[in-house]
Homo-oligomer: A and B are copies of this chain.
Amino acid sequence: MSINEVAREAGVSIATVSRVINNSGAVRASTREKVEAAINALGYSANRLARNLRTSESRLILVLVPDYSNTFYAGIVQGIDGEARRRGYHMLLCDTGADPDAERTYIELLKNRMVDGAICLDPDSVQSLLGEQPRALPWVACCEFDPDSGIPWVGIDNARAAADAVRFLIGRGRRRIAMIGGDERFMYAHERRRGYLTALAEAGLTPPQGSPLDTFSPDFDDGYRLAARMLSVSPRCDAIFAVADPLAVGAMQAVHDAGLRVPEDVAIVGFDNVPFATMVRPRLTTVAQPMKRLGENAARVLIERLNDPELPVSGTMLEHDIIVRESA
């Protein structure tokens, strides 16, 4: 079932069929109708494998996620998927955490021409991609990025977002504000830590002893563990800023188990506004990133570069939002 059959059925050449399906070149209306009739009669659909080889593009973009089960990425991936599809692309998704030698695989996918470009949400992969021939591979960094790397990126101003969260707590009268999660390996954590310290300094405050506290992994258990440790130092902190919502929820539980109240005794602010932020009591106050728009912009930037590789490298900074609920 190929373009040949359609051409024969319609009594035209394959070039004309190609013009019709691509809506390119000039085709007489009556001829177009004949071809369309043949296409419908045969249920023809152009072989993408052949078209891909001929046009030398796959119209596929690779999306590298460190861990699917982290709900944080869901909104971004949805944004990428939607925008990509609107522009005639599809999304090949790779969980880099699940695959030990993922790095080799996905760089291969790019060199292979199996995908046209990549969007990287994974801090580790960002690092290793930066190690490759920087601008040779068409990719963009999303959320985790280095403005000076020469790689296009989209993200938020993590330092300012963290500072805003801390200023919010200060505005509520908090003075001993602890921070959980500041893993220096990741730009986002490093920046948030910087913002935290800036906002404190600005108000003439200092971090409680031990703060910021580094996480092993930014999940509920670590949030619980580290908050419990934080609560045991005196004078006790009166607020906790966590760099990820699961950490914040764990911290909330630790405060509760210590016989204290959120937010009366300890206010808590999270980061990311994941779905379950509204399913806990008190509801979590948190910093929201415009996930869907982050994804959409990443896809847009990548696809524009694909269409015009000479485009200057750009960074896109999107606005964050403090979602005030009940925990602070």
In the assembled complex, A108 has its CB within 8 A of some CB on chain B: yes
- Docked CA distance A46–B114 (Å): 10
Task: Give the interface size class of chain A.
Answer: 35 or more
- Docked CA distance A43–B112 (Å): 11
In the assembled complex, A28 has its CB within 8 A of some CB on chain B: no
Q: Least Cβ distance of A279 to chain B in Å?
A: 5
User: Which one of A70-78, A162-170, A303-311, A318-326 is at the interface?
Assistant: A70-78
Q: Least Cβ distance of A70 to chain B in Å?
A: 8
- Docked CA distance A82–B94 (Å): 9
User: Which one of A10-18, A53-61, A137-145, A171-179 is at the interface?
Assistant: A53-61
Q: Are B45 and A53 in contact (CB under 8 A)?
A: no
**Which of B74, B105, B112, B220 lies in contact with A47, CB distance below 8 A?**
B112
Interface positions of A from 46 to 89, Cβ below 8 Å from B: 46-50, 52-53, 56, 58, 60, 68-69, 71, 74-75, 77-78, 81-82, 85
Q: Least Cβ distance of A259 to chain B in Å?
A: 14
**Besides A53-B53, A69-B71, A82-B98, 19 other CB < 8 A contacts?**
A46-B112, A48-B113, A49-B52, A49-B58, A49-B113, A68-B78, A68-B81, A69-B275, A81-B94, A82-B99, A85-B105, A91-B92, A92-B92, A93-B93, A220-B278, A250-B279, A253-B281, A256-B281, A279-B280
